[in-house]
Chains A and B, each alone.
Chain A
Amino acid sequence: MTALLEVENLSVAYGAIEAVRDVSFSVEEGQIVSLIGSNGAGKTTTLRTVSGLLRPKAGDIRFDGKSIANADAHEILERGVAHCPEGRRLFGRMTVEENLHLGAYVRKDAGVAKDMARVYELFPVLGQRRQQKAGLFSGGEQQMLAIGRAMMAKPRLLMLDEPSMGLSPIMTQRIFDTIKELQSQGTTILLVEQNALAALAQSDRGYVVDLGRTTLEGPGHDLLADPRVRAAYLGED
């Protein structure tokens, strides 16, 4: 069986600077997979390339067996890959509801209203404030909206970039609970996190990205126990 997403020897450059040199990983349908690594390791660049915002310099990206390495961002979303970007990137001058509508922009089916109700059920605070501008919300609420917006596309693969960044421990826990719940409903998750401990604990599989290369891989719990991971990312000697 081929994986849902396969990234093979990916390399991405910003002009002359290679941010990603050799990244390979795969995500099986129904799994939660994490990419962990320090700041500037190339995790975000990798996600931005998978979603079509950046073009790879070399290597291949296959979704559901077909290459998407040179497809446009909107085509990749239409195939079922949604990307919830780092820093949330909401449309701050639009309301909660408008942001969610944009999340469902490519959908033509009748289920949009039902899925919006589901987002409001999952995050009641969004439902209470659906006519308010997204820019007025707190960090945690914005993160909920960002995840809700990505869910509205009904993706097969949801990529989340630093969903816990800047959030309180309680809010971080809620976000991770939501990710688990999405997985149980059949969505495959690719997670990029600096919070390696929380991410690996939830993940079926993890990859360590270092200086633009995938260096270690394994089941989440194995990586958590790996002394090299503990030394480098969990602050232990």
Chain B
Amino acid sequence: MATLLQQLINGLVLGGLIALIALGYTMVYGIIQLINFAHGEVFMVGGFASLATYSYFIPESWRSDWWVALPLMALGGALVAVILAVIMERFAYRPLRNAPRLAPLITALGVSVVLKEAVRLFYPGATAPVPFPRVFVDEQYTFEIFDGTITIGSTAILMIAVSVIGAVVLQTYITKSRMGRAMRATAQDPDTARLMGVNPNRTIVLTFVIGAALAGIAGVLYGIQITNVDTEVGFLYGIFAFTAAVLGGVGSIKGAVIGGFAIGLIKSLAGQYFPGGTQYDLVWIFVLLIVVLVFRPQGLFGEPERVRA
């Protein structure tokens, strides 16, 4: 029982991280039908940028106060991620907006390789995992229950809280605000959105910016939770997040969040209980994906493409 609860908690923590990244995939796909494979690297760059903010910009006397250091690092990580995404959109994707769908997809893969190699080559020491400072309160809370103990760390609580709050704020913004309406209109029918006076370029850039900011914040959270950053994590978590977005239904905010948590839970539960343990936990993620797509090709919350209007 305690083991099960512990694995559920671990799953939620991982799931929260995946969900934050998956939001960027799903929003960009929703508006320009591009699977931005470089988005995982944006998350990774966010992690490195927040580390750089800590190492090079935050004076030593501020570092021990987490309520000063952590927001500054999140800001640094998100800012660099956003700048990167804006450049990416402007110079890699926008010129290909009317090209066949394969062209921007291959470009995204190329951008992803470039980003990963650039960080590996130019960030000091990034050829191996780089230690990440424990800036946040580093507590482990232990609870005695039934037949054992469960442990949850302060960073784990922060991770779950930020991902849930982030998703709720985003969903509210998309459904209630003027710009949110413009984004949904552009996603549904770009030409008609233009007839309403929506500037498509501005709307698309905003979508990239929001996704990148969330990925940048995910980068910091990853750093304080895992206590290192590595150029490899962009690809791995990119794949997790992409799978979460597809599972939940690309284009759906709710779907990305539920997909993220589903993947986190499957991975930690399968690692504990399924044959093969953690060696095969990734297999079960994709088994779940295949099963869902067989019965619901549009994903759990995706909208099938036949709405009258």
Contact = CB atoms under 8 A, between A and B. Distances in A.
A102 B182 contact: yes
Contacts of B193: 102
A91 B198 contact: no
B195 interface: yes
B308 A77 contact: no
Interface string B298-309: 000001000111
Nearest to A145: B309
A72 B195 CA distance: 10
A105 interface: yes
A101 B309 contact: no
B196 A105 contact: yes
A62 B11 CA distance: 61
A91 B309 contact: yes
Interface stretch (A32-40, A92-100, A179-187): A92-100
Interface residues of B, number: 20
A142 B309 contact: yes
**Chain B interface helix/strand/loop/mixed:** helix
Interface in B2-51: none
A102 B178 CA distance: 8
B192 interface: yes
Given A98-B181, A105-B178, A85 B198 contact: no
Interface in A143-160: 149, 153
A101 B198 CA distance: 12
A105 B303 contact: no
Q: Which of A74, A77, A93 counts the most chain B CB atoms within 10 A?
A: A74
Nearest to A149: B196
B51 to A, nearest CB: 41
B303 to A, nearest CB: 7
Interface string B184-200: 11001101111111110
B185 A72 contact: no
A105 B182 contact: yes
A34 B181 CA distance: 33
Interface string B180-222: 0110110011011111111100000000000000000000000
A92 B307 CA distance: 6
Contacts of A91: 184-185, 188-189, 192, 309
Interface residues of A, number: 30
A90 B184 CA distance: 12
A102 B198 CA distance: 9
A92 B303 CA distance: 12
Given A91-B184, A98-B181, A102-B182, A85 B192 contact: yes
B184 A74 contact: no
Contact of B181 (A73, A90, A101): A101
B307 A94 contact: no
Interface string A56-78: 00000000000000001110011
A89 B181 contact: no
Contacts of B192: 85, 89, 91
A129 to B, nearest CB: 15
A51 B195 contact: yes
Contacts of A72: 194, 199
A52 interface: yes
B197 A105 contact: yes
Interface string B275-309: 00000000000000000000000000001000111
Interface of A: 51-53, 72-74, 77-78, 82-83, 85, 88-94, 98, 101-103, 105-106, 134-136, 142, 149, 153
17 contacts: A72-B194, A73-B197, A74-B199, A77-B197, A85-B192, A88-B309, A89-B191, A90-B309, A91-B185, A91-B188, A91-B189, A91-B309, A101-B178, A101-B181, A102-B193, A102-B196, A153-B196
